[in-house]
Amino acid sequence: MSDILEKIKTYKLEDVAKRKAAKPIANVEAEANAAPPTRGFAESLIDAAREGYGLIAEIKKASPSKGLIREDFQPEKLAEAYAEGGATCLSVLTDGPSFQGDDSYLTAARNACTLPALRKDFMYDTYQVAEARALHADCILIIMASVSDTQAQELEEAAIAWGMDVLLEVHDAAELERACLLKSPLMGINNRNLKTFETTLDTTRTLSKLVPADRTIVCESGLNTPDELADMARYGARTFLIGESLMRKDDVAAATRTLLANPPQGGM
């Protein structure tokens, strides 16, 4: 595990312990049961990719490597802009220390449009999964580099029990092999090296060849142009998670529309 992931894991486990002490799991589960129905995150992505692209558009204020990304940060407005621009789903950062995220951003963004939403956070405990549903999430993220096989299975099973989907995130062949033991069809390939934070699309070019045919590749990080999306589509990736390059644009809806224009024909 990289130093940055180790640091995040340390404070995240402390945060989860504090949350458990402040709000018993029974209370969180009651809120989760009262949440509106899930919107079919994986189904929406897979359907979109059959003819065009499936885009998970990310609402992210800051990052550990780039610092503040967008000063004019209004989750509701950004969600509306992404929906207007043709995004399929949302990804909303809820981690505070490293990304300046907040739980309220997820609920606000999802309520502002009709798109399914991913709780983008570092998940280690099934308490966080119930919490995600209570915040109206439709999907959670499992970063294989940061959890054991047992943890990953417990988190996935909890998400399924709550009616949510799971985005599995891998960075190398070993993590991909482990992720294939799980059920989720969404296989996220992160092009960012978590040790150096350098980004290369060669990661997707290499790992895509190892992804089973019954899984959907979600290409993550380092995507900025329509040409790059078309290139990744040639390697079987027609669904993408993109945040920073869109978050920096003045007109987010127009930038999203431009990025998704003219996908290669053929679909999945």
Does residue 63 have a pLDDT over 90?
no
Structural domain span for residue 30: 3-260
Query: Which of 93-97, 194-198, 228-232 has the least mean pLDDT?
Result: 194-198
In a domain, 268, yes or no: no
Q: How many angstroms separate the CA atoms of 114 and 121, rounded?
A: 21
pLDDT of amino acid 2 = 63
pLDDT value for 268 = 57
**267 located within any domain:** no
**Confidence category of residue 193, pLDDT binned at 50, 70, 90:** confident
Which stretches within 23-172 are classed as H helix? 25-34, 41-51, 75-85, 103-111, 126-134, 149-161
How does the average pLDDT of the chain come out, rounded?
A: 95
pTM above 0.85, yes or no: yes
Residue 111 is part of a domain; what is its CATH number? Answer: 3.20.20.70
Does residue 126 surpass a pLDDT of 90?
yes
How far from the centroid of its chain's Cα atoms is residue 179's Cα?
15
CA distances in angstroms from 206 to 46, 131, 189, 228, 232, listed in the order given: 22, 35, 10, 15, 11
**pLDDT bracket for residue 198 (50, 70, 90):** confident
Cβ-proximal residues to 198 (8 Å cutoff; 6+ apart), any chain: 192
Q: Is residue 265 part of a domain?
A: no
Asked if residue 158 lies in contact with residue 189, where contact means CB atoms within 8 angstroms, the answer is no
How do residues 166-189 score in pLDDT, each as one tens digit? 999 999 999 999 999 999 999 999
Domains contained in the chain, number: 1
* Domain presence at residue 175: yes
